[in-house]
Structure 1
Amino acid sequence: MDFLERLSDRDRERFLAAATTVRLARGEYLIRRGERGGDVYRVVEGELEVIDGRQQPAVVLDVIGRGQMVGEMGFLEEQVRTADVRAAETSVCQRWDRGALIKVLEGDPAYAAVFYRALAGLAVDRSRTITTNAMMGALAGGKGGGSDSAAQQARAISGRVKGMMADIEPLIRRDKPTAQQKLRTALHNFQGELEATFARLARVDQLAAGGEVAADLHPYVMRSHLGEIANDRLEGWVGDGGTMAHICAHRPVGDGPLGEMIDEWFLDLPTSRALRERRALAGQLVTESLPVNPPSRVLCIGANSASLLAPELDAIGRQGAEIVCVESNREALTVVDADLRSRPRTLKVRLVQDDVAALCSGRARLQYPPQSVVVVDGLVEYLPERVVVSLVRDLIARLAPGGRMVVTAMAAAPDELIFHHLLKWPMTRRSLATFRGLLEAGGLEEVRVYEAGSAGLAAVGVRPLV
């Protein structure tokens, strides 16, 4: 998927407006391996090559054509460049200065959530392409480097689980319980092997290994419904509830019995369980945060934040509350409307299609009175720390003095590699103490953070009275 297609029309316009132009002659380098940097580029005319010059002849790892981006890994990770990028022909590129772009993102946290999520998805796709081409180069006679070795280790791991799946599929028809147990054991062992292997690898080699595993197991992952929707659509955050709806329903679906079993395994992973438990806990915190004296006003930042209130509608309705959900995606608002359909008559719900970024920064089309509670679910795990602080600071202004903010995040889990590489769902995970510190840095007081399962976090904090 083209990076710009991952953005809304409005976000796309804002992003393109911040670009400058770079012109390259054939053979001229845009990025050099080992350099520090973080600028992001997009090809307007011509073609670029991502090359590994450590091998002779050099291996072309990827070809970047018109409309494609490059440099996203350096931007996300703030590390030295891991490959050279040169012009394969006379080329024109758009350039986004890292420092200037970060300032924009810090001042517009909701836009930052869209941007970082989209850029992370692009980075996952790029790692797969680079891995495939690196291996082709090695087979063609190039000298193998560390990434080749990492990819070979990864293929050995995925090869074992593929062999097990091939043996298990015919067993399902004869003895489904035994087949199910064998599959769970095989996938559990695969997860453990993957984690142990990645712990020994450098970051660049982790990308190679992750891309190889993802490519090798892709046909099996896509037989799971969760694998299919997570890979085919940019999901998992506010704006598209398909993935979260499937995780919360916890009803395995797949292509045939094997696909259903793989889906069941995905749905039972610690992160999946934590997402379900986190949503339930956040809903309870919202109910507990409502003031004693009605009317109460609850502002939900994005569709996910509103949908998590569905189990709490009766309790919230008894407070004579009004729920406002601000979401830029019309389809997502339709999902919220269905989720909140069984609300009591005492509960008012307003679904507003508006720019969440504009709301956070005080530029919304509509004006909202001071809120009793502001809910932020499914955003923090896609934002760097400084943008989280900016988001909290901006949203505090939407609260009445003494009002409360409910915010969710994700903590570390042993299945991070599965979500990142197989499901294309990268998240920034934080400790409980770090999460609390970010909320306090944003201006919240009396912050309490609760664990939801082994990997979920939900917090509530108070706007100061003065």
Structure 2
Amino acid sequence: MSNPFTYLTEADWAALRAHSREIQFVRDAVIVREASESPGVMVIRKGSARVEQRRDTVTMTLAHMGEGEVFGEMSLLEDTVASATVIAHEDTSVELFERGQIEALLQSDPGFSARFHRSLAVHLSKRMRDRNRNFAPVQARTEAPASRAPSTRLGQVTERQIPPALRAGLEAFKAEMNAVEARPGTDAERRIADACDRLMALMVKSTAPDALFEAGFADLGSFRDPATLASGIGAYVFRQTFSWFMSAATIARVHVKPRGLSEDHETIAMMVADDPEGDGVTGPLLDRWFLQRPVCRFRRESRKKAVALLQRVAVMPGDRVSVAILGSGTATEAIERLADPQMSKVVLTCIDLDQEALARGAKVAADLDVGSRVSSVHANAVPTGDSSSAVSFGRHEAIYALGLLEYLSDRECVRLLDWAHGALIPGGTFAFATLAADNPDRPFMEHILEWNVSHRSSQELEKLFARSRFGASPSIEASAARAGIWGEAVRPR
């Protein structure tokens, strides 16, 4: 938020201040309550405040305001009750310009009235542009897949370009699936896992550069570039194995993307729960195999790393420690820890475009009686190119993002890092988990699950941080599961 009264003159402000008064609010005190009559226009003179609004069953944090920012102007303009609640984020001093005083000036001074209304018109126009710019890019990425039919993935490879070893391996895979389905036996889990591992090894081998070069020359009349051949070979494996893998609950949900993304909050919950489900005999066994793959283990490992970060910042000095979670989903890995005595100082700001996920997280917080320490922010934390489009929700001792960087371009990553740098206190930590370039599950993700995200190497991540305000490289740790990277960067004191 910013001062909406850009066209008011010093004389206008002097006339307003002739009858204004300053009011003090302690931290967490309500300054204005949603649906109540607003007393007038208010300016924050010292401290900060957060703006909250009730949406269905959850309270969303809409914005954070600092010194010099103004609120209450819309209630005055529309002659309505307050549309949101404003709460002191810390001990805060507010200057109040009462409604009656402003209305008297509007009626008695045409010049003041013109400047006042022009200021509001420009302010509202800018607010609408910022909102459209801030939400549209990410919504286009996250919502379009749900409404767009999957690619047919046909015509990318000919029969002669399918490696014979892969063709034989696929027949062996299907035969083993049929055998286990008919007669499971006590070693069914091992047999399923071995069959899947052999198939994955064949996929990796068949899409390696040398194999693609051979495939290209196996049918010179239908020569294709390596990328198209790799996609075609992957599509062939997908079609041959589809009915089997789609009998596994987690695998099927990742592929179907019911809410537009391979990883929505429900899919992540399934990965974290590590409780295999599926149809028939083979379905649960295939699901168990997938849930033990490096990518799923990395997702679980990342949440443990996030909890360890919370435990570190919880012992920092002061009576409140603030942690922001970007692309938070339900944020249950953090919310469920708030009830622990050692976490009593920690407050969370959960930022996500998925309002349903935020609502679920808020319910968990309410059930644990820690709802007052969780702010749910329905917003896109990634600035879209101009600094005014970035959300602002105060300063934090730590910020973390689990998997978010995978869905961002390099340019968007740098913008996010710049935002995080500015939102951290000096000495604060930005932590992230992201899939590694050498993730062993990448072929399965791309060709079978159609789960396409950005994989980055340590060197690529270091370059992104070098381009950002952090400047220095983050500390980087490869995951035990080998699928991803956990990194941390500290804003210098």
Picking from 130, 147, 150, the partner of 2:153 is: 130
Partner deviation per Cα, 1:330-350 (whole Å, 9 max, x = no partner): 211133235545646597111
Instruction: Give the match's secondary structure for 2:331.
Output: helix
Report whether the alignment pairs 1:264 with 2:288: yes
Q: Tell whether 2:417 aligns with 1:417.
A: no
Aligned match of 1:85? none
What fraction of aligned residue pairs are identical, expressed as a percent? 21
Other-structure match for 1:337? 362
How far did 1:436 drift? 3.4
What do the CA deviations read for 1:235-270 (whole angstroms, capped 9, x no partner)?
796982111111110011011221000100110111
Matched, 1:378 2:381: no
Work out whether 1:214 is the aligned partner of 2:257.
Answer: no
Partner residue in 2 for 1:309:
334
Does the 8 Å CA contact 1:382/1:428 hold for their aligned counterparts?
A: yes
1:387 aligned to 2:398?
no
Q: In 2 relative to 1, CA 366–115 (structure 1 residues): closer, same or farther, beyond 3 Å?
A: closer
Moved more, 433-442 or 267-276: 433-442
**AA of the residue aligned to 2:476:** V
Q: Distance in 2 between matches of 1:112 and 1:458?
A: 26
Q: Which string of whole-angstrom CA distances, capped at 9 and with x for unpartnered residues, describes residues 120-140 of structure 1?
A: 9999932xx132xx28xxxxx
The aligned counterpart of 1:73 is none
Shift of 1:456: 2.4
C-alpha distance in 2 between matches for 1:109 and 1:430: 25
Match of 1:449 among 470, 473, 476: 476
Deviation larger for 150-159 or 248-257:
150-159
Please tell me the residue identity of whatever aligns with 2:332.
S
Residue 18 of structure 1: aligned partner: none
State the AA in 1 paired with 2:207. F
State the number of aligned residues.
Answer: 342
The aligned runs of 1:73-84 (5 Å cut-off) are none
Distance 1:345 1:263, change over 3 A: closer
Q: CA RMSD in A?
A: 3.4
Shift of 1:179: 2.3
Instruction: Name the counterpart of 1:178.
Output: 187
Amino acid in structure 1 at the alignment position of 2:450:
K
SS of 1:413's equivalent in the other structure is coil
Alignment-derived partner of residue 65 in structure 1: none
Correspondence for 2:177 among 157, 161, 165: 165
Give the direction of change, closer, same or farther, for the CA distance of 1:308–1:382 in structure 2 (3 Å limit).
Answer: same
**Aligned partner of 1:188: which letter?**
D
Shift of 1:292: 2.5
Task: Extract unaligned runs of 5+ from structure 1.
Answer: 1-107, 136-145
Which of these residues, 456, 460, 465, is aligned with residue 488 of structure 2? Answer: 460
The alignment partner of 1:323 has SS state of: strand
Change (3 A) 1:426 1:365: closer
C-alpha distance after superposition, 1:420-445 (max 9, x if no partner)? 22222223222234323423432225
Matched, 1:439 2:465: yes
Question: 1:355 offset after TM fit, Å?
Answer: 3.8
1:149 aligns with 2:160: yes
Q: Which runs of 5+ in 2 are unaligned?
A: 1-132, 213-225
- Read off the aligned partner of 1:193 and give its amino acid letter: L
- How far has the Cα of 1:390 moved from its partner? 2.0
- In the other structure, the counterpart of 2:115 is none
Name whichever of 297-306 and 398-407 sits farther off: 297-306
Q: Indicate the SS of the match to 1:313.
A: coil
In structure 2, what is the Cα distance between the partners aligned to 1:331 and 1:457?
28
1:161-196 Cα deviation digits (max 9, x unpaired):
112211221111xx2x22222222211111111111
CA distance in 1, matches of 2:265, 2:162: 34
- Provide closer, same or farther for how the CA distance between residues 369 and 229 of structure 1 changes in structure 2, counting only shifts above 3 A: same
Inter-partner Cα distance in structure 2 for 1:455 and 1:110: 30
Write the distance in 1 (CA, Å) between the matches of 2:334 and 2:478. 18
CA contact (8 A) 2:326 2:351 kept: yes
CA contact (8 A) 2:476 2:488 kept: yes
Range 335-344 or range 289-298, more displaced: 335-344
* Equivalence for 1:63: none
Preserved contact between residue 146 and residue 257 of structure 2 (Cα < 8 Å): no
> Could you say which residue in structure 2 is the equivalent of 1:227?
251
Q: CA deviation at 1:227?
A: 1.6
- TM-score, normalised relative to structure 2: 0.61
SS in 2 for 1:244: helix
CA separation of 1:117/1:347 partners in 2, compared to 1, >3 Å: closer, same or farther?
Answer: closer
Larger Rg: 2
Residue 245 (structure 1) aligned with residue 266 (structure 2): no
CA deviations on 1:103-155 (whole Å, 9 max, x unpaired) are xxxxx8986666566789999932xx132xx28xxxxxxxxxx5443446555
**Cα deviations by residue, 1:299-329 (Å, 9 ceiling, x for unpaired):** 1112348233245434586352221112222
Verify the 8 A CA contact 1:383 1:428 in the aligned structure 2.
yes
